[in-house]
């Protein structure tokens, strides 16, 4: 899980910068496809999870079944190669004066922007990996079949795929931070009741309901995140700034989320404990968003 956290952010900076700079007045909408694509990947991964856990025995899955999704994952390579060969660079990037030392400039002159970008990404990453942790949680804590967790994450992936462009379009109309502040606040107040419900009434319908609720909040928050992160950095350092901040936030707050959740359960003896981590990360991002709102609203009222 931690290795996947490092890898998932590898193209985030470049691809999001590309989407935003081609977006014109619809930056939020175009950037939201970053998460729509990740939602589609979650749907496909969950379908493989449901299929493998249903059709194969646990021994078959451990012996060779787990390799099947990786084989199909290789098929995306030619698609990525084709896009790279034929995509034109953005006019905004071509018009900007390049900096020869973007990392140095970020660390020495824009370190505050990097910290803000890390902060606003915290709850997006923690919620994402907690949702992906649900199949394990369903088996170990709720005593449900392995397929139950994958069915729930499949429903969550559909919400993320379909909902992200809708929320991105909405953010272009009413502003970015107000949507994200509401989503972070709802994470804070509803995480504990959600985990309480699913542990007290362990069943597939309840698990699906809780995962769908968390996925809806995650979609509302994360669909706006790429555009807001892009707006924190000038064009010259945007790609590097987003890549650096996102690749620090993902493994720390996302990749370690299942490990932290398991540790909290063992430490407290309470299966509701993962909600504590989600609440803490939601509070952290909420506070950072207030700082971002104050810093950027003067120069760009669309973030308010």
CATH number at residue 61: 1.20.1250.20
Structural domain boundaries, residue 128 = 2-303
Residues 225 and 121 sit within 8 Å (Cβ to Cβ): yes
Residue 7 is predicted with a pLDDT of 45
Cα distance between residue 31 and residue 228, in whole Å: 9
Residue 303 is predicted with a pLDDT of 59
Cα distance between residue 6 and residue 84, in whole Å: 21
Residue 285 is predicted with a pLDDT of 97
Q: What is the pLDDT of residues 185-239, one digit of tens each?
A: 999 999 999 999 999 998 999 999 999 999 999 999 999 999 999 889 988 888 8
Q: What is the pLDDT of residues 18-53, one digit of tens each?
A: 777 766 778 889 889 988 988 888 888 888 888 887
Measured between its terminal Cα atoms, the distance across the chain in Å is 35
Domains of the chain: total: 1
Residues 167 and 103 sit within 8 Å (Cβ to Cβ): no
Residues of the chain with pLDDT under 70: 1-11, 13, 22-23, 84, 86, 88-96, 297-304
Closest by Cα among 18, 38, 47, 76 to 165: 38
Tokens of 301: 């009222």
Q: Which residues contact 48 (CB under 8 A, 6 or more apart)?
A: 68, 69, 72
Cα distance between residue 192 and residue 278, in whole Å: 9
């Amino acid at each position: 899980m931690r290795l996947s956290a490092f890898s998932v952010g590898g193209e985030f900076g470049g691809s999001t910068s590309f989407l935003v700079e081609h977006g014109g007045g619809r930056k939020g909408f175009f950037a939201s496809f970053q998460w729509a694509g990740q939602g589609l990947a979650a749907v496909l991964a969950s379908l493989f999870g449901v299929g493998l856990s249903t059709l194969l025995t646990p021994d078959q899955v451990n012996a060779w079944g787990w390799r099947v999704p990786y084989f199909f994952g290789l098929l995306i390579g030619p698609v990525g190669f084709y896009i790279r060969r034929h995509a034109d660079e953005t006019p905004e990037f071509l018009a900007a004066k390049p900096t020869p030392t973007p990392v140095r400039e970020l660390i020495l002159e824009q370190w505050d922007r990097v910290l803000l970008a890390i902060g606003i990404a915290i709850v997006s990453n923690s919620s994402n990996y907690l949702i992906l942790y649900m199949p394990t949680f369903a088996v170990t804590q709720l005593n449900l079949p392995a397929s139950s967790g994958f069915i729930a994450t499949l429903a969550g992936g559909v919400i993320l795929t379909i909902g992200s462009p809708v929320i991105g379009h909405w953010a272009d109309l009413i502003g970015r931070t107000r949507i994200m502040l509401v989503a972070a606040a709802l994470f804070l107040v509803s995480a504990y009741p959600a985990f309480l419900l699913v542990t007290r009434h362990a069943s597939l319908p309840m698990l699906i309901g809780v995962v769908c609720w968390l996925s809806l909040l995650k979609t509302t928050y994360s669909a706006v995140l790429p555009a807001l992160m892009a707006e924190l950095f000038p064009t010259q350092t945007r790609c590097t700034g987003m890549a650096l901040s996102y690749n620090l936030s993902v493994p720390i707050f996302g990749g370690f989320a299942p490990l932290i959740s398991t540790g909290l359960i063992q430490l407290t003896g309470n299966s509701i404990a993962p909600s504590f981590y989600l609440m803490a990360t939601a509070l952290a991002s909420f506070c950072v968003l207030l700082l971002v709102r104050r810093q950027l609203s003067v120069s760009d009222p669309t973030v308010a």
